Chain A
Amino acid sequence: MQASTSTMPDEGRQILSSHFDDLEQQHLSSNLGMWFFLGSEVMFFSGLIVSYAVYRGLSPVAFELASRHMDLWVGFFNTLVLLTSSLTMAFAVRCSQVRDNRGIVRYLIATAVLGSAFLGVKATEYKKEIDHHLFPGPHFVVPGHDAEEMLEASKGPDGQVNHEVYRHNLGRFQMMFVFYFFMTGVHAFHMIVGIAAVLIFAVLAKIRWFSGYGHTQIEALGLYWHFVDVVWVFLYPLLYLIG
């Protein structure tokens, strides 16, 4: 119990909350809590992903044309940036295990920088799309050549355009952007929260606020960061690659 922790050298001491029996229990609780929270987050995204999949399956033409407006290579670059940030986060967790405080600070800052770079790139993508009136809502404009292709795809076997199908396709073209902005927006929100947490943890590590180098806490943060990363690994192929 508490007595056993205070005999450890001060450098490596973890703070044990009074309602836990030992550090192992505390560590297990923290980890399990984060895993279940992430399970909850998976359900949050899966509602969107399922809806996306259904609409996409119903209107493949409109969705494919719309997803051609995504820049494959910018997305690829961003994926690389994010995966690298997961690597630096893993290093930070490793440093907390071997009690290398300077390493923690260094790698957390690297993680935050990479995360911010991702958001910066995403912001330029958003700007480009908004400039081209691809943000859903009253100002949305379907680009001319896409409209022509959809008109072509709306022709029945007799060569006549089915206007109902055509209007439907135009709507679904916008729908793709609804999903794109909402899903990447929610993801970006998770990134912002993550970056803020990473920076706070870096400061706390710097001032040695975690007496045991915050192994438990930084591991939980690491799980969160990897999760946000994994979400992007699903979003990138869904939004950019298919088609």
Chain B
Amino acid sequence: MNAAAHARHDDGPPTDYLSDTSVASWLLTTDHKRVGILYLISVTLFFLVGGVIAGLMRLELMTPKGDVFSTPDTYNRMFTMHGVIMIFFFLVPSIPAVLGNFLIPLMIGARDLAFPKINLLSWYVYIIGGVMGIWILIHGGVDTGWTFYTPFSTMYSNTMVVTAAVAVFITGFSSILTGLNFIVTVHTMRAPGMTWFRLPLFVWSQYATALIMVLGTPVLAISVILVALERFFGFGIFDPRLGGDPILFQHLFWFYSHPAVYIMVLPGFAVVSEIIPCFSRRPIFGYRFIAFASVAIAIFGFLVWGHHMFVSGQSMYAGAVFSILSFLVAIPSAIKVFNWTATLYKGSLRFDTPMLYALGFIGLFTIGGLTGLMVASLAIDVHVHDTYFIVAHFHYIMVGGTTMAYLGGIHFWWPKISGRMYSEIWGKLSALLVFVGFNLTFFPQFLLGYLGMPRRYFEYRPEFQVLNVMSTAGASILAVGFLLPLFYLGMSLRRPRDAGPNPWGATGLEWQIESPPTTHNFHEPVLVTCGPYMYSPEEAEREYASQHVHHA
């Protein structure tokens, strides 16, 4: 903040936000863009750790017998840590904390988020939780699954459940603080003329996400703390012998953790809603429907937790109600997919890397969403419950959806973040590899699950081997696809700045300023006079022509 004030009063030219390279300036920064970069680095590290564990698990599952890990117990610890790290330390913070932090103030014409110090605090809280997570991993891990189901977690598991619960609890606060900051920023920091219906859809989606973070996360916090206390004191709150009910935990847990799926995928919608219009050179179709659909998903998300509990012994009527409510979530989700498709229709499509990722997102999310309808159906769910069908379904939504969108967003805004263009050929290759690798990894798992292979087992019947080998082969392609961006994005940093303010010819305030942005974002007060996505057909024509000239 002080730096911003100085930059404005100094006589010299304003410097970009990356120019001060001292470690202290990074660790004490309150600049939302720098906090975004801090998150980018830490989230990437956790993604690598979670990814390595996933690779080990796929190796284990290549043969029907256990051969990589010595005991099933090790395998249990591995899939738990994979889940905990990927969900709490990668998927939940990835798009909001990296891209949201970086972009929301830029997109609404503000100098920073409403609470810059709290923003930095959220990163430190996240790091504390993350370090605990890694510490647990090194010291033996947890074997409960990322869901910490009672009574196993409270009574039988002999692993570090309490530490893991505390780590998740702490990380939750980071999420709450980020959400709080976004909500207040969107309410109070918009530039003059930036009305609610001139907000970029990215901001709408992040706003809906932030609502879930603020209202859902505390319930998760309370449920994991109850698990920790129960383990510590043996209170009996989840122990039937003492009058408790283990199912209570599932209710509390899924009340957060189902909305948490939308914490992961709504930001993905946010990114795709920016990329699709830009690379179709068309205004987005049905702006208001997409905006309201985000909020509707956030609200419905809180009403469907019971579909995780169809086989928990809840009443048939509860099951039926939760089944119907779960179907309702498909409506706003489908509105979004149809609107993106309608935006593509008759657009002047350009297949740059971000666009490939966004199209991949639509494909994978559609498969994940349609199989979501299958598992929302009470009867089908009873058949595929706790099988690889479920594993494939939620990986399509959470990994296929969120990760594709995250990578698409990183590529889309990389020129803004770093000021550099990356190698387009390598970018396209990575998008292709991720898409192919992903489908090869997870589509066979739908079949495996439907045929009856249960999840969380480290051995299986020999007839499942062919599909498992396919899956493992896909995972290795996927790994290459995920690793490539690290190299060519890293290499782009060695080049001089060449991106210019607006390499994609995109609309939106963030593209009006230089790349990388200066510390205080905007040189002059911003006045917004029109809505986002003003891509006219004439402009599209011009852009398209200039592209061809450029390449010639």
Per-residue CB contact flags for chain A residues 3-39 toward chain B (1 = under 8 Å, else 0) read: 0000000000000011110000100110011001101
Q: Is the CB of A43 within 8 A of B216?
A: yes
Task: Tell whether A137 pairs with B235 under 8 Å between CB atoms, given A41-B218, A43-B215.
Answer: yes
Contact residue among B110, B184, B221, B248 (Cβ-Cβ distance under 8 Å from A19): B110
A47 close to B188 (CB less than 8 A): no
Identify A33's interface contact among B115, B219, B248, CB under 8 A: B115
In contact, A18 and B252 (Cβ under 8 angstroms): no
**Cβ A169 vs Cβ B243 within 8 A:** yes
Chain A residues within 8 Å of B176, by CB: 37, 40
Contact with A along B104-119 (1 / 0, CB 8 A): 0000001111111000
B217 within 8 Å of A (CB atoms): yes
Choose the segment among B1-9, B132-140, B383-391, B434-442 that binds chain A (4+ C-beta atoms closer than 8 Å): B1-9
Q: What is the count of residue pairs linking A and B with beta-carbon distances less than 8 angstroms?
A: 112
Interface size on A, residues (CB 8 A): 38
CA distance in complex: A33, B184 (Å): 6
Cβ-based interface call for B14 (8 A): no
Chain B interface residue count, CB cutoff 8 Å, equals 47
What per-residue 1/0 map shows which CB atoms of A44-77 lie under 8 Å from chain B? 1011100100110001001000000000000000
**A25-B188, A54-B248, A136-B236 as given contacts; A47 in contact with B180, CB under 8 Å:** no
In the complex, the answer to whether B218 meets A47 with C-beta atoms within 8 Å is yes
Where chain A touches its partner, the secondary structure class is helix
Asked whether B218 lies within 8 Å of A40 as measured between CB atoms, the reply is: yes
Does any Cβ of B come within 8 Å of A121's Cβ?
Answer: no
- Residue of A17, A37, A40, A59 touching B243 (CB-CB under 8 A): A59
Choose one: A32, A36, A46, A174; the contact of B242 (CB below 8 Å): A174
Instruction: Take A39-B214, A174-B242 as given contacts and tell me if A33 and B229 are in contact as well, using a CB distance cutoff of 8 Å.
Output: no
Closest beta carbon of chain A to B20's beta carbon, Å: 16
Q: Are A175 and B243 in contact (CB under 8 A)?
A: yes
Please state if A48 and B222 are interface contacts (CB–CB under 8 Å).
yes
Contact in complex: B112, A43 (CB < 8 Å) = no
B112 touches A19 (CB 8 A): yes
Chain A residues with Cβ under 8 A from B244's Cβ?
171, 175
B243 near A171: Cβ-Cβ < 8 Å: yes
Q: Which residues of A contact B252 (CB under 8 A)?
A: 47, 51
A128 contact set on B, CB distance < 8 A: none
Q: Which of A36, A59, A182 contacts B184 (CB 8 A)?
A: A36
- Closest chain-A Cβ to B303's Cβ sits at a distance in Å of 15
**Is A36 touching B189 in the complex (CB atoms < 8 A)?**
no
Interchain CB contact under 8 A, A33 and B114: yes
A225 to chain B, nearest CB (A): 19
Check: A170 CB closer than 8 A to any chain B CB: yes
Give the one of B2, B110, B219 with max A CB within 10 A. B219
Residue of B nearest to A175 (CB): B243
Q: B233 contacts the other chain (Cβ, under 8 Å)? A: yes
A18-B5 contact given A36-B180, A51-B252, CB 8 Å threshold? yes
**Is B422's beta carbon under 8 Å from chain A?**
no
Task: Say if the beta carbon of A168 comes within 8 Å of chain B.
Answer: yes
Contacts of B262 in A (CB 8 A): none
Provided the pairs A19-B110, A19-B112, A19-B116 are in contact, do residues A40 and B180 lie with their beta carbons within 8 angstroms?
yes
For the complex of A and B, the 9 pairs showing the least CB-CB separation, nearest first, are: A171-B243, A44-B218, A19-B112, A171-B242, A172-B243, A19-B111, A47-B222, A18-B5, A29-B114
Residues of A at the B interface (CB closer than 8 Å) are 17-20, 25, 28-29, 32-33, 36-37, 39-41, 43-44, 46-48, 51, 54-55, 59, 62, 136-138, 167-175, 178, 182
